[in-house]
Chains A and B, each alone.
Chain A
Amino acid sequence: MRIRKILTLALAMMLVLGLVAGCAQSSATTTAAAGETTTAAAAETTTAAAAPAEKIKVGVIYISPKNDGGWSQAHADGFAAAVAAVGADKIDLKEIENVNDADAQQTETALNQLVADGCQIVFATSFGYMETTAKVASENPDVKFEHCSGYMSADNFANYFAQIEQPRFLAGIVAGRMTKSNTIGYVAAMQIPEVYRGINAFTLGVRSVNPDAVVKVTWTNTWFNPQLEKEAAISLIDSGADVLAQHQDSTAVQQAAQEKGVFGIGYDNPMYSEAIKDAYLTAPVFKWGAYYEQRLAAMLDSSWTTGAYWGGMNDGVVALDTMTALVPADVQTEVNALVDTMKAKGNDFVFAGPINDNTGAERVAAGSSLSADDQFAMDWFVEGVVEAK
């Protein structure tokens, strides 16, 4: 017993020593941060300028695994493509996966870790990272930050997103043509404007070709939870849906569709695989490489500035995945015929009036389109959307 006590004491002592040493070290860095680090950082920049062979460190945090087949994979593939495009010898990519965006502490420690690792620019690729990223950005004015899908920004903090509503509308046409029960299920993540926009764009697409169809929405309150996503999908199928769409980051909804013998429309990333070959029709997908390439190139020639990017199909950052053979040729032709119009008119085409909400009130008058601000703050459903109980 006594030995155990001594051991405990020794361990506790070690710990205290470690703490003291660590604190001394950290306070040293904090003091240095006041003056000396600035010069050190400046010196570093000059050497970087003098020797362009120096790699730029780029940090990324993902909400789920990089190979989730959905949201994070779309970002990871985008970075891989961008790095290949600007030169793999110029970029050192530092990635952390599985950072919970609802846990500010985890987000903050991950961002700090990337900053400590020497990243000159850090990309935070989920909505929930926004406020923590803004905070870390304000604490690290020498590092640049970019946040995907939010609305905050600062001199060293840009936000970016893509108008996925355009391919969503096209996917809606596919769903509207494929449904026999006129009930389309939609597994949705969070009750935020981004998701409302997606549901509404999809439904407007559905109703443009099939005014009798309804879109039934189930909320999961999570971006990534394959099991919950699948359960939600199955409950929608049980309530009569014969085509499923999703605003979720995994392929679970597609698997449920395959198992239950209905059709599925994916999201984020081309999701086709042998395992879902009888269900998968197409998906609105992100092509982040197009955006990341611009931003990394801007880092390399020091022309990076903050901003709020919102690209569409015309910019190549979003697209409708190649439709599979399950989609009849005439439907494919119908959808493809709209692509050029979509590229030319963008979200003005998607949200062109007249649009009524699902209580029957008019939201957009004929002849006008929903303003960008109203799209960003969308918290209502268009006609044809039903919330599953």
Chain B
Amino acid sequence: MRLRIAKKETAGGWRAAAIRIISVLVALLFSGLIMAAMGFDPIAAYLAIAKGSFGSARGLINTVTVAIPLLIVALGLSISFSMRFWNIGGEGQMVMGAIFATYAAHQLPETTPAVLYWVTMALAAMIGGGLYALIPGLFRAYSGTNETLFTLMLNYVAIKVAVFLRLVLWKDPAAKGFPQIKAIPEAAHLPKIFGVHIGWIIALVVTVFVAIYLKYTKRGYETRVVGESERTAHYAGINVRRVLVGGVALSGAIVGLAGFAKLSGVSHVLSESIGGGNGFSAVIVAWLAQLNAPVMILIALLFAAMEQGAMGMELALKIPVSVSDVIKGLILFSALASEFFISYHVVIEKGPRALLRQYRRSGRKELQADTPEGEDQA
């Protein structure tokens, strides 16, 4: 017996959906086994996750709050990804956005009306994130630099810039020697609607924008063509460099907006941890959603629920929160595996021995050597 991997011609809708759902179930099954091996009841654990994340008003508010920056970053990154520009720099772009927004907030006079605060900070954050993404974008467009490493490394640069600002340049003298940046003024805080800061409205608006931009605009179409093949795009008369640079800047600007939403909505104080790992988790969110903007809402909420539910799980059953990281990892792993099974299938081919056995059983005297292997099975 021999296994062969063959590319499928089409990935059928139902089949693909079924494979994806099965993959998540398999991940949950394995996580359950791990939890059982640790001596915890997996069913109770999953119920605790569901209850902790969606089971109460507070849980739901927390889940949505966690999902907001994650979703915005994923949406921003998806524009880069649809051009096959591997932007792993979401964390840094988000931090830069927050840095610019903080700067803007402290430049405005204290009497500035709230709306003006939000607009200025949001614009500043978009400029910050956009400019920061532009650096690897320009390098990639004009000298073919590998953007994966470039954007990844720029994360650490942005984080260190924030550390520098906190320790030296923007150290708040009123903080009794504690090195921290002055909080943004009260008027700059985002208000809450339905218990969650209005970043959720920003996130939904951005979702609609990205969905329309990528699917229905000329620039979005060009973006996708560049993603399919830069050469094709070039022959079709698309200015590849302009599309690439513009797309990356837009991508970074949206990610920067997430920095504003988190700063203004929750943190109120800039610190190097404002990214909170969203830049990395969002890569997974964007890909699991197949770069489909509305689906990203769902995936971001699921990831947020997992994080939030993990706390509920620890509270109810004293299971360490790190177990949720294991589950997240397994889901990602299964999701990647499911993409493989959607695009390829495994063919079991008959090896020479099996053919020989078949030949003996059939009682025939001659071995038909010219029969292609396993043709009747494929």
User: What is the interface of chain A, defined by CB distance below 8 A to chain B?
Assistant: 1-4, 7-8, 11-12, 15, 18-19, 22-23, 25-30, 65, 94-98, 100, 102-106, 108-110, 112-117, 131, 151, 190-193, 196, 221, 376-379
| B224 close to A (CB within 8 Å) | no
Show 19 residue pairs from A and B whose CB-CB distance is below 8 angstroms, ordered by the A residue: A8-B295, A11-B295, A12-B294, A12-B297, A12-B298, A15-B298, A19-B64, A22-B54, A22-B194, A23-B194, A98-B321, A100-B276, A103-B271, A109-B311, A112-B58, A113-B62, A116-B56, A131-B268, A192-B177
Interface SS, B side: helix
Closest 10 CB pairs of A and B: A116-B58, A102-B273, A3-B13, A23-B194, A26-B57, A104-B267, A22-B60, A26-B195, A109-B62, A379-B177
| B6 close to A (CB within 8 Å) | no
Residues from chain B with a CB closer than 8 A to the CB of A131 are 183, 268-269
| B104 close to A (CB within 8 Å) | no
Q: What CA separation (Å) do A131 and B184 show in the bound complex?
A: 13
* Inter-subunit contact B314/A95 (CB<8 Å): yes
| B320 close to A (CB within 8 Å) | yes
| Most interface-central of B54, B167, B176 (chain A CB within 10 A) | B176
Which residue of B is nearest A57, CB measured?
B315
* Inter-subunit contact A8/B61 (CB<8 Å): no
Q: A353 CB to closest chain B CB, in angstroms?
A: 20
Residues from chain B with a CB closer than 8 A to the CB of A100 are 273, 276
* Inter-subunit contact A26/B194 (CB<8 Å): yes
Residues from chain B with a CB closer than 8 A to the CB of A114 are 315
Q: What CA separation (Å) do A284 and B308 show in the bound complex?
A: 35
**How many positions in chain B have a CB within 8 Å of any CB in the partner chain?**
52
Which residue of B is nearest A65, CB measured?
B320
User: What is the interface of chain B, defined by CB distance below 8 A to chain A?
Assistant: 13-14, 16-17, 52, 54, 56-62, 64-66, 69, 163, 167, 176-179, 183, 194-196, 262, 266-269, 271-274, 276, 292, 294-295, 297-298, 301, 308, 311-312, 314-315, 318, 320-322
A-B interface pairs (CB < 8 A), number: 134
* Inter-subunit contact B297/A105 (CB<8 Å): no
Which residue of A is nearest B272, CB measured?
A102
Please judge, given known A-B contacts A3-B14, A12-B297, A25-B57, whether A109 and B66 are in contact too, CB under 8 Å.
yes
Given contacts A2-B13, A96-B321, 20 further A-B contacts (CB under 8 A): A7-B17, A12-B297, A22-B54, A22-B60, A27-B195, A94-B315, A98-B320, A98-B321, A100-B273, A102-B271, A102-B273, A105-B65, A105-B69, A108-B266, A109-B311, A113-B52, A113-B62, A116-B57, A191-B179, A192-B178
Q: A308 CB to closest chain B CB, in angstroms?
A: 13
Q: B161 CB to closest chain A CB, in angstroms?
A: 13
Q: What CA separation (Å) do A377 and B267 show in the bound complex?
A: 24
Q: What CA separation (Å) do A104 and B318 show in the bound complex?
A: 23
Residues from chain A with a CB closer than 8 A to the CB of B314 are 95-97
* Inter-subunit contact A26/B60 (CB<8 Å): yes
Q: What CA separation (Å) do A166 and B163 show in the bound complex?
A: 31
Q: What CA separation (Å) do A377 and B276 show in the bound complex?
A: 29
Q: What CA separation (Å) do A115 and B271 show in the bound complex?
A: 25
Q: What CA separation (Å) do A104 and B176 show in the bound complex?
A: 20
